[in-house]
Amino acid sequence: MELIKTGIAGLDDLLNGGIPRGNQVLISGGPGTGKTMLSLEFLVRNAINGRKGIFFNLEETGEKLKEEFLSAMPNLKEDFDKVIKKGTLILSGRETALRVRGGKGDNPYEIDNLIAQLSETIRNEGAELVVIDSLSVFSLLTDESSVYKRSMYLLTETLQKLNVTSLLTIELTERNVSALKFKSEFFIFDGLIVLYQMIENKKRISEIEIIKMRGNSHSFDVLPYQILPQGIKISVKNMGLY
């Protein structure tokens, strides 16, 4: 089994070496937990080592995404600019999402069209790694839970056929462990990583937990993390491994 290292400080320790190649992994959490930052850092770290990745930013422009990423992690600017110029990191998807969201009515074909266009881009670019940020766009296209679930099955099937390793971000309304509730369709994905934000002594604490990762053992600890200028850092000292 080939493992794809995330390159994120501490995360590969939690993952017992990395993410199994071909897995589709949900990165879930509330607003401001760093889902987008973690996913984009994953692509940047791998692009430096020659693994081509596509970041589908379905909710904001590429320029805004770049601005936010480099504001949070300014020490990665040189690497970011290098992989963008080299073409091993591609920012895409905003225009596709806007076109599809411009459709009328509760039409499942709008979702099919979005997935088909994402698939075409992945295939044409020959990407190994994919990030879709975020799955909230799919839920905006329909009010029918059955249609949304079907779209998640179609999306995972499509990514499997393309043989890519992917991270897909999704919003959670709950901010802490005790209140956490998962939608049933979450479990069709191979992996589930949750980012929490809690308030302790009037301070905001960020923590990460790996709920599952098919094909590989992993830590079950809930551990604190920080978003630093050089990237995300998870405190793995003294963790109970696997």
Interval 138-174: pLDDT, tens: 887 777 888 888 889 999 999 999 999 999 999 887 5
**Average pLDDT of every residue of the chain:** 88
Q: pLDDT tens, 182-191?
A: 676 778 999 9
CB 89 within 8 A of CB 44: yes
Please compute the mean of the pLDDT values over residues 125-137 and round it to a whole number: 94
As beta bridge partners, residue 27 has 169, 193
pLDDT for residue 242: 46
Higher pLDDT, 30 or 143: 30
Angstrom distance (rounded) from CA 30 to CA 19: 23
Task: Report residue 111 as tokens.
Answer: 């979702």
Q: Is the dihedral of CA 8, 124, 108, 156 positive or negative?
A: negative
Tell me the pTM: 0.91
CB 44 within 8 A of CB 80: yes
Domains of the chain: 3-234 (3.40.50.300)
The helix (run of H) or strand (run of E) holding residue 67 is helix 62-72
Q: 53-109 pLDDT, tens per residue?
A: 999 998 888 889 999 999 999 999 999 999 999 999 999 976 665 655 555 445 556
What percentage of the chain reaches a pLDDT higher than 70?
A: 86
- The answer to whether 55 and 169 are in contact (CB under 8 A) is no
